[in-house]
Structure 1
Amino acid sequence: MRALVRTLCDGPANRLQGASDERAWGEPLVGFAAGDDPLFAAYKEHVGPHHWAPAEALALAHPELGALDAAQLTVICWVLPQTAATRADSRQATAYPPERWARSRIYGELFNDHLRREVVRALEAAGHAAAAPVLLPGFGTVDTARYGPASRWSERHMAYAAGLGTFGLCDGLITPLGKAVRLGSVVAQVAVPPTPRPYNDPHAYCLHYARGTCGACIERCPAGALSAAGHDKRLCGAYVGATRPYVLAHYGFEGYGCGLCQTGVPCEAGIPEGLGQGATACITGQEAV
């Protein structure tokens, strides 16, 4: 699977679709989580019962399989990092997304969907039932009293389970490639050794939580949606939606974005020094499927 994801990322679909035909994403990371990982039950308690477990998501796509053994399932997750050029543009921004960032949000996510479909196709061609949960008809968000809008399948929480990173103050996932990333996943009826998680704390890679310092993402947020108390999803979402007219007027396509909290911060392109021992080795030292 790692080889397939890397090959697809090197292909012609991974593009910003602008005049320069630049790559949307850099080299990916891939990790694996066991379908019966206790974290998935914990997510139902912590995030809410609406959040799908891997077996639930696969059953929605393949009801003909009947009762599924979660121990025979794997969640395959990947991290798609913003390119150095996109990050550099974003660091200079103070209110609206630069064109590269807006393109990565729209066209880069279209590629992410392509990646999901191709991974599913490859697995099923090899005889393994598979599904990309965020592409299922029932996928969406649920309005919760505790967290506001909450997804039925959180790519961030899947990547956390797969050893790919921990959460920051702004709710973004801080990975060995940083926080300026997009995430994707597929669940499949195939047993793959899980990627070790070199952390127990969900905020292990965030300087604010780990050391009581930083807070740079608070200063970067143009919406006032970040504070020491965390991330106001509704303020954030409203601001991102309000960028649509700007993107259309300045860049000539229907899009939106922000992501300023992901750049110009110590965790932009990696785990802050001293917080991520063992993180890269656990991801790159294993080949699977």
Structure 2
Amino acid sequence: MARTDDRFRLAFNRLLDICGRWDVGDQLPSEVVLASEMGVSRTVVRASLQRLSDKGLITWQGRSKTVVRKPLSADRLEIRDEMVSVAELERRFLEWVLRFDVPAGTALNVAQLSRQFNVPAHILQEFLAGLSRFGLVERGSKGGWLLLGFTSEFAIELSDFRAVLELNAVRNLVELPDDHEIWSQLSILKDEHLRLQSEIETRFHDFSKLDEKFHTAINSVVKNRFVLEAQKVISLIFHYHYMWDKTHEMQRNAAAIREHLDWIEAMESRDVGRAEAAALRHLRTSKQTLLSSLRDHQLV
């Protein structure tokens, strides 16, 4: 199935949803309004309206588009699973933002971005609404979305929030029983850190993925939907900041590995005070590295 056909099928199904909100005998909105809500061109809207007319859902004469019957599930067009997942959309969008392709204050064109990220416009709208909770985007005064951008203030607030979450995870973790899966995970992570430490001169670029894996494991002991949602954004941002700052990258990553190892040993000792102290040392270092990366990009 061609991507243009993908877009038409998605747009048509979206128009069915819109049509379903109206009663029989009601008039559908103008093509301009429909195009804006669907995030597609007026050409696609007209093609979708013609399909509605052919199926007997509306009568269409000039500007008059009258609902004749309610849509049925059988009216929907099949969509093959070729669109990106929500998780992939999160990764692509945040990568786009964090690589500084667009400045803060940029108005986001949902129709254009939905094509760029290969997702339906309404899925992108829902994603942006969820992302607005973290202060990266906000609704514009006249509708649409505005990119607030990744600023030093955002980095500081995110780092401080990360510390709250991870210190809470540490307190929970050290109280877990010996047969909990986290202990075997930490043992494997410890071996992976030691292996990378011994090969740091040739594999220091691999640390960002190991760092994400390590922090994800620690936070996994807290079963809280809000923590999981925040962790998505935190993980991606702290993953990408390793790509921004290449100054003394090997030495910086080697130091972070040592901090991780100290943290793991502290947790394994079940000493909550020692584990919290080790966590704070690493989180403070990570915060300073993030701010340093922003300074290099003249964002501080």
TM-score range with shorter-chain normalisation? under 0.3
TM-score by length of 2: 0.21
Where is the strand percentage greater, Structure 1 or Structure 2?
A: 1
Higher relative contact order (CA 8 A, sep 6+): 1
Where is the helix percentage greater, Structure 1 or Structure 2?
A: 2
